[in-house]
Structure 1
Amino acid sequence: MDWRERYRDKEITAADAVRRHVKPGDRIFIDSACAVPRALLAELIAQRNTLKDLEIIHFLTVGGEQIEKEFLENSDFFRYNVLFIGDSLRNAVNSGRADYTPIHLSEAPELFRSGRKQIDVALIQVSVPDKAGYVSLGTNVDVAKAMAESANYVIAEINPNMPRTLGDTFIHMRDLNHWVYSDKPLLEYEMERTPPEIAEPIGHYVASLVENESTLQIGLGKAPAAILDYLSEKKDLGIHADHISDGHLKLIEAGVFTNDKKTFHKGQAIASMALGTRKLYDFIDNNPMFAFHPFDYVNNPINIARNDKMVSINSALSVDLTGQINVDSIGQDFYSGVGSTIDYTRGAALSRHGKPIIVLPSTAKGGKISRIVPFIGYGARVTIPLVDAHYIVTEHGIAYLHGKTIRERVMAMLNIAHPDHRAKLLDAAKKMKFIPQDQPLPVGKAGNFVLYPYQYETWMSLKDGRRVFFRPIKPTDEPFVQELYYSLEDEARIFRFFFNKRFFPRKDVQADVNIDYERNIAFVGLVGDEPKTQKLVAMCSYLADPETNLGEIAFTVRKDFRNQNLTKFMLQYLIRVAREKGLKGFKGDILWDNQAMVHIIRSSGYRIYGERRPDGDFIFSFNFDEKDKEE
Structure 2
Amino acid sequence: MSDVHGVTPGPDDPYGHEAPDFTALVRAGDLVLWGQACAEPRTLTEALLTQRAAIGGFRCFLGIPASDTVRAEHADHVSFLSYCGSGGNRELHRAGALDVLPCHYSDLPGLLSRGPLRADAVLLQLPPPDAAGRYSLGLAADYLSAAVDTARVVVAEVNDQVPWTHGGRVLTRDDLDVVVRVSRPPAEVRRGVPKDVEQRIGDRVASLIDDGATLQFGLGAVPEAVLSRLGDRRDLGIHSGQIGDTVADLMEAGVVTNRRKTLDPGRTVTGMLMGTERLFRYAHRNPAIEVRDTGRTHDPAGLAAQERFVAINSAVEVDLHGQINAEVARKSYVGAVGGAVDFLRGAARSRGGVPIVALPSTAGRASRIVTRLSGPVSTPRADAGVIVTEYGTADLRGLPLRARRERMLAVAHPDHRAPLEKAMEDELCP
Q: Residue 389 of structure 2 contacts residue 411 of structure 2 at CA under 8 Å; is this kept in 1? A: yes
In the alignment, residue 206 of structure 2 is paired with which amino acid?
A: A
1:226-262 Cα offsets, whole Å, 9 max, x none, are 2111111111100000011111111112211110001
The residue correspondences of 1:217-296 to structure 2 (distance < 5 A) are 217-296=216-295
The equivalent position to 2:368 in structure 1, one of 351, 371, 396, is 371
The equivalent position to 1:419 in structure 2, one of 399, 404, 414, is 414
Q: Residue 64 of structure 2 contacts residue 89 of structure 2 at CA under 8 Å; is this kept in 1? A: no
1:407-458 Cα offsets, whole Å, 9 max, x none, are 2111111111111111101212322349xxxxxxxxxxxxxxxxxxxxxxxx
The residue correspondences of 1:583-598 to structure 2 (distance < 5 A) are none
> Does 1:38 pair with 2:42?
yes
Aligned equivalent of 1:57: 61
Paired with 2:75 and 2:144, the residues of 1 have a C-alpha distance of 24
Paired with 1:271 and 1:6, the residues of 2 have a C-alpha distance of 37
Q: Residue 358 of structure 1 contacts residue 391 of structure 1 at CA under 8 Å; is this kept in 2? A: yes
Q: Name structure 2 gaps, 5 residues minimum.
A: 1-8
Paired with 1:155 and 1:316, the residues of 2 have a C-alpha distance of 36
Q: Offset of 1:8 from its aligned partner?
A: 4.3
1:487-539 Cα offsets, whole Å, 9 max, x none, are xxxxxxxxxxxxxxxxxxxxxxxxxxxxxxxxxxxxxxxxxxxxxxxxxxxxx
Aligned equivalent of 1:335: 334
Q: Residue 316 of structure 2 contacts residue 359 of structure 2 at CA under 8 Å; is this kept in 1? A: yes
> Does 1:83 pair with 2:63?
no
Paired with 2:185 and 2:105, the residues of 1 have a C-alpha distance of 27
In the alignment, residue 33 of structure 1 is paired with which amino acid?
A: A
Q: Offset of 1:115 from its aligned partner?
A: 4.2
Q: Residue 161 of structure 1 contacts residue 184 of structure 1 at CA under 8 Å; is this kept in 2? A: yes
Aligned equivalent of 2:186: 186
The equivalent position to 1:409 in structure 2, one of 404, 408, 411, is 404
Paired with 2:110 and 2:61, the residues of 1 have a C-alpha distance of 15
Q: Offset of 1:192 from its aligned partner?
A: 3.0
Aligned residues: 421
Deviates more, 1:389-398 or 1:185-194: 185-194
Paired with 1:405 and 1:331, the residues of 2 have a C-alpha distance of 30
Q: Residue 84 of structure 2 contacts residue 334 of structure 2 at CA under 8 Å; is this kept in 1? A: no
Paired with 2:11 and 2:107, the residues of 1 have a C-alpha distance of 37
Normalising by the residue count of structure 2, what TM-score does the alignment of the two structures yield?
0.94
Paired with 2:238 and 2:360, the residues of 1 have a C-alpha distance of 25
Normalising by the residue count of structure 1, what TM-score does the alignment of the two structures yield?
0.65
Whose RCO is larger (CA < 8 A, sep 6+)?
2
In the alignment, residue 397 of structure 1 is paired with which amino acid?
A: G
The equivalent position to 2:423 in structure 1, one of 425, 428, 452, is 428
SS in 2 for 1:403: coil
Aligned equivalent of 1:68: 70
The residue correspondences of 1:228-627 to structure 2 (distance < 5 A) are 228-330=227-329, 332-365=331-364, 368-377=365-374, 380-433=375-428
Q: Offset of 1:332 from its aligned partner?
A: 4.5
Paired with 1:119 and 1:105, the residues of 2 have a C-alpha distance of 16
Paired with 2:175 and 2:396, the residues of 1 have a C-alpha distance of 50
RMSD: 1.7
Q: Return closer, same or farther for 1:279/1:101 CA change in 2, 3 Å cut-off.
A: same
Aligned equivalent of 2:3: none
Q: Offset of 1:392 from its aligned partner?
A: 0.3
The residue correspondences of 1:126-165 to structure 2 (distance < 5 A) are 126-165=126-165
Q: Offset of 1:169 from its aligned partner?
A: 3.5
Aligned equivalent of 1:542: none
In the alignment, residue 34 of structure 2 is paired with which amino acid?
A: I
1:87-126 Cα offsets, whole Å, 9 max, x none, are 3222432453211112211111111223442222111100
In the alignment, residue 168 of structure 2 is paired with which amino acid?
A: D
SS in 2 for 1:432: helix
Q: Residue 118 of structure 2 contacts residue 147 of structure 2 at CA under 8 Å; is this kept in 1? A: no
SS in 2 for 1:140: coil
Task: Please identify the structure whose Cα radius of gyration is greater.
Answer: 1
In the alignment, residue 49 of structure 1 is paired with which amino acid?
A: A
Q: Residue 19 of structure 2 contacts residue 43 of structure 2 at CA under 8 Å; is this kept in 1? A: no
Q: Residue 199 of structure 2 contacts residue 222 of structure 2 at CA under 8 Å; is this kept in 1? A: no
Aligned equivalent of 1:175: 175
Q: Return closer, same or farther for 1:425/1:7 CA change in 2, 3 Å cut-off.
A: farther
> Does 1:214 pair with 2:213?
yes
SS in 2 for 1:158: strand
